[in-house]
Amino acid sequence: MTISPVAAELRSEDVSVWFGERQVLKDVNLTFRANRVTALIGPSGCGKSTFLRTLNRMHELIPSAGLAGSILLDGKDIYDPSVNPVDVRMEIGMVFQKPNPFPTMSIRDNVLSGLKLSGLRVDNKDELLETSLKRASIWNEVKDRLGEPATALSGGQQQRLCIARSLAMNPKVLLMDEPCSALDPGSTRRIEATIEELSESMTIVIVTHNMQQAQRVSHETAFFLADENTPGGVVEFGSTEQVFGQPIDERTNDYVNGHFG
């Protein structure tokens, strides 16, 4: 794969997921359009986080994991036997629920860790460092303390550092798994603003439990639901305006209006 500077379209076709013999997702068909922010919403246990992890092959790190269907990045199947999962993860970045900077590294090393970890070489590291931190809107707060350990930062700053760390790899797609759930409202706002700016240069998929957040940041929304003892799936997928304003499915209506979940 070659790295293209522009955002890419990501598509799932008939994706089903298992843990052991238990099927947790069935026939998920979604298209994440380039430069768009798509929110995945739904009650706990509906499989949305699991689905997110299938999008950059993190899912298969769980020993009993199983999968059917395809994930296409600009039309190319990322699960093809000829594809190295490492390359996939370099193009499709991920930000986790809990901020997880590398505790043994400085702020600077954290941002540049992706390069070292994937064995990439870059001519101007300082420039990349600055750009990445600026894109994650944390540059001003850390520019004078780049040598300090990352653990010295606050939770919100750590999360933005983790975003900067992903951005330094210049991914086409950024997956975010409830990135604000562990943060205070101020930090949440800042990250949401960052997401909006980032969508200009990449495709973003964000899992969130927060309806307001989904409405604030996303262009499109997919509603996941799992009935008892049946695998989860997508109930409704459309523009965020439509899904929250005029949901077609009754269950979506109940959920977005806070009747359950």
Partner 1 sequence: MEKVVADPRPAKQPWNKSSKLASFTGGRGFADATLITLAFLLAAVVFGLLLSVLWSVVSAGAGAMSPQFLYQNNRYISTTTSLDYGGVGHAILGTLWLVLLATMVALPLGLAIAVYLTQSQSKLRNLVRSITQALAGLPSVVSGLFVLSIISFLGAQKSGIFGALALFPLMLPTVARVAEEALRLVPADLRLAALGLGAPNYRAFFQVILPAAKSGIITALLLGLARVVGETAPLILTIQANNGTNLNPFDGGVATLPTYIYGFISAGYASSITRAWGASLVLLILVGILFITARLLTADKKKKKAKK
Partner 2 sequence: MPKEAVRRKLGTGVLNRGDRLFFGITSAASYFAFILVALILVFLIAQAFPALKDQGLAFVYGSTWEVTPEKAVMQIGPMLYGSVLIALLGVLLATPMAIATAYLIVFILPKSPAKLATNLIDLLAALPSVIIGLWGVLVFTPIAQGWADFLHKNLGWIPLFATDKGTTSLNSSPFIAGWIVAVMIVPIITSVTREIFSQFDRELINGALALGATRWTVFRRVILPTASGGITGGVLLGLGRAIGETVAIYYVLQLSMKINFFQILEPRGGAIASWILSRFGEATEAEFHGLMAAGLVIFITTLVINLIANIIVNRAQPWRK
Q: Does 80 bind partner 2 (CB under 8 A)?
A: yes
The number of CA neighbours under 13 Å toward the Cβ of 225 is 15
Report d(CA 72, CA 39) in Å as an integer. 18
Least CB distance to partner 2 at residue 54 (A): 10
Among 76, 98, 134, 209, binds partner 1 (CB under 8 A): 98
Which of residues 69 and 101 has its CB atom nearest to partner 1 in the complex?
101
Least CB distance to partner 1 at residue 233 (A): 25
Considering only CA atoms, give the Rg of the chain: 18
Residue 67 one-letter amino acid: L
Q: Does 147 bind partner 1 (CB under 8 A)?
A: no
Burial code (b: 16+ CB inside 10 Å, e: under 16) for 125-160 equals eeebbebbbebbbbbebbeeebeebbeebeebbbbb
Token pair in block for residue 170: 């210049």
Decide: 191 and 160 in contact? Cβ < 8 Å: yes
Among 68, 72, 182, 211, binds partner 2 (CB under 8 A): 68
Among 34, 65, 72, 146, binds partner 2 (CB under 8 A): 65
For 240, the 3-state DSSP assignment is: helix
Which of residues 20 and 245 has its CB atom nearest to partner 2 in the complex?
20
Given the rule CB under 8 A, which residues bind partner 1? Answer: 56, 58, 61, 63, 86-90, 93-94, 96, 98, 100-104, 113-114, 116-119, 162, 165-166, 169
Given the rule CB under 8 A, which residues bind partner 2? Answer: 14, 16, 18, 26-27, 59-60, 65-69, 79-86
